[in-house]
Every structure is written in C-alpha cells, then in structure tokens.
C-alpha cells in the first residue's frame, strides 16, 4: 500500500515539510489546554495502490485536526475522519486545490486511475 501525509497549518494552503509522524512523534498528549499556546493543524493522509513513491491508483483519503504547542512539545490528535462530508468540510478550498494539483502532477496515472468519488473530494464548491 502506498501512503502519503500532508500536514497543513489550519489556514495555510501549502503543507509543512514535516509529516504528522515527525511533528507528533516526540510529543506527549496534552491533559488539558491550560497554559498552552496551541497551533491548529490539519493532517491529510492519502492512500493508494502501489509501493513506495509510485502509486498506481489513489484510493482513500483521511483527514484529522490536530493541535500542538511547539514550546512544551504537547498536543492533541483527533481521530481520523474518512466520510466525504467531513473531509469536504475540513479542507479549505486552497488546500483542496493544492492536493488536487500535487496528486495529478506527482502521479498522473494514479490520478487518472482514481475513481470519481475520490476525485470529487477535491472539487471546489
């Protein structure tokens, strides 16, 4: 299975260089938010058929919100959401555009092989 993570600051259209795993690997779960300076993020996981860097078809997308205090190295990761209406609601139009452009240019064959239901998640409404 091929998979890729895109980690966005909540309102940004371009993902960070770090993945969810890199940002949250050495953090502790926050017990409460008192005294924390939490930044909001959106983590997007895209899965597909294929290996390593060469997907042959994009099949699934999951999105979750996250918050992180960089100074104290604590944060919250919410459960992954995979329902169409949740994904469409969480992604901003600029994030949808970025992801659609990246997917269709980085792996055009996988984009073409993806079903219409997957592609429509990136439609701007």
Predicted model pTM: 0.89
Within a domain: 125: no
Residue 103 counted as domain residue? yes
Series of mean pLDDT values for 10-residue runs along the chain (125 residues): 94 94 78 80 94 88 91 84 90 96 95 95 87
> Is 53 inside any structural domain?
yes
Cα separation, 49 vs 53, in Å, equals 11
Residue 78, domain member (yes or no): yes
Q: What is the pLDDT of residue 110?
A: 96
Domain enclosing residue 89, as ranges = 2-120
The answer to whether the CB of 39 falls within 8 A of the CB of 12 is no
22 lies in some domain: yes
């Amino acid at each position: 299975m091929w998979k890729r993570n895109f980690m966005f600051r909540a309102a940004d259209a371009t993902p960070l260089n770090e993945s969810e795993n890199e940002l949250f690997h050495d953090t502790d779960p926050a017990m409460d938010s008192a005294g924390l300076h939490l930044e909001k993020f959106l983590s997007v996981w895209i899965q597909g058929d294929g290996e390593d860097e060469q997907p042959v078809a994009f099949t699934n997308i999951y999105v979750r919100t996250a918050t992180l205090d960089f100074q104290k190295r604590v944060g919250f990761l919410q459960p992954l959401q995979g329902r169409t209406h949740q994904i469409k609601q969480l992604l901003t139009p600029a994030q949808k555009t970025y992801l659609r452009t990246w997917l269709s240019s980085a792996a055009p064959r996988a984009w073409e092989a993806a079903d219409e239901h997957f592609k429509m998640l990136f439609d701007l409404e």
